[in-house]
Amino acid sequence: VRSPTAATRLFAVLGDPVSHSRSPLFQNAAMRAANIDAVYVALRCDREALPALMRTLAAAGGGGNVTVPHKRVAAEALDRRTAVVERTGACNTFWMRDGELWGDNTDVAGVEAAIRALLASVPRRVLVLGAGGAASAVLAALEAMGVEEVSIVNRTIARAQELRARFADGSLRISIGATVDELDSHPWHLAVNATSLGLREGELPKVGSARFESALDLVYAPGGTAWIRELHGIGIPAADGTEMLLRQGAAAFRQWFGHDPDLDVMRAALR
């Protein structure tokens, strides 16, 4: 491992809280494997400090990621936004190009890659649990993949309404409900947990009597979340959020350095 020098570029994940972030683990491993002279750290910052911190890191030749609860504020701080930042209203990756602060939302590419890794074909009907920032990235990914029908279930129905309104001008047919059992009951090809239920060990997302053929949990846990372990027990193809985490990180790396990282190196560092 080489020590930082005066030439080393600084990358950071900005959030609050952020000390639990696993991004430094796999981003530093990927940079080392690619022989890039850079370090990646986690910096806690408040909403007021975020725009200046993003601009300063990027102007100094680095860049970074943004996590909870700042992805919306980050989108507003940019000079230039990718199409998915416009679509989701959120930014999780930033860098400087030609003196302008650029941002992307690589959670979208991360979700799409995780779904493609799980399923052989694009699902037509998808159940999305949750209506926060992660759910917005899921909808953008489903739209890009050509999914036809989405049902959004969220405890706070107003947030599900907002999310439906954001995507109303696109190709997705969207229904909403406060519980799964309020929806027309037909089997879904895929169920996605984009709530924070599952962060605490043993906790399960509320799927009611829903029937679905496969599942993606955005929450991740060593050995898989309780929900994913339960689904594997009954033979349903399912994955936790590890693949999405890796793939959003790989897409961010590509924006910073112009080439793909070694995914196997990143995966090993995460283990």
Footprint of ligand NAP (CB under 6 A)? 68, 107, 110, 130-135, 154-156, 159, 194-197, 199, 218-220, 241, 244-245, 248
Three-state secondary structure string covering the chain: CCCCCCCCEEEEEEECCCCCCCHHHHHHHHHHHCCCCEEEEEEECCCCCHHHHHHHHHHCCCEEEECCCCHHHHHHHCCEECHHHHHHCCCCEEEEECCEEEEECHHHHHHHHHHHHHCCCCCCEEEEECCCHHHHHHHHHHHHHCCCEEEEECCCHHHHHHHHHHCCCCCCEEEEECCHHHCCCCCECEEEECCCCCCCCCCCCCCCCCCECCEEECCCCCCCCHHHHHHHHCCCCEECCHHHHHHHHHHHHHHHHCCCCCHHHHHHHHC
Residue closer to ligand NAP (CB basis): 27 or 154: 154
Q: Count CB neighbours of 69 within 10 A.
A: 14
Token pair 């349903």 is found at 236
Minimum CB separation from ligand NAP for residue 36, in Å?
A: 22
Minimum CB separation from ligand NAP for residue 2, in Å?
A: 28
Residue closer to ligand NAP (CB basis): 85 or 219: 219
Residue 244 CA to residue 265 CA, distance in Å, equals 16
Residue of 71, 81, 87, 247 marked catalytic: 71
Residue closer to ligand NAP (CB basis): 55 or 206: 206
Residue closer to ligand NAP (CB basis): 96 or 136: 136
Residue closer to ligand NAP (CB basis): 39 or 239: 239
The verdict on whether 71 is a catalytic residue reads yes
Minimum CB separation from ligand NAP for residue 89, in Å?
A: 12
Residue 42 CA to residue 24 CA, distance in Å, equals 7
Residue closer to ligand NAP (CB basis): 96 or 112: 112
Minimum CB separation from ligand NAP for residue 107, in Å?
A: 5
Minimum CB separation from ligand NAP for residue 248, in Å?
A: 5
Minimum CB separation from ligand NAP for residue 96, in Å?
A: 24
Residue 99 CA to residue 107 CA, distance in Å, equals 25
Residues involved in catalysis: 71
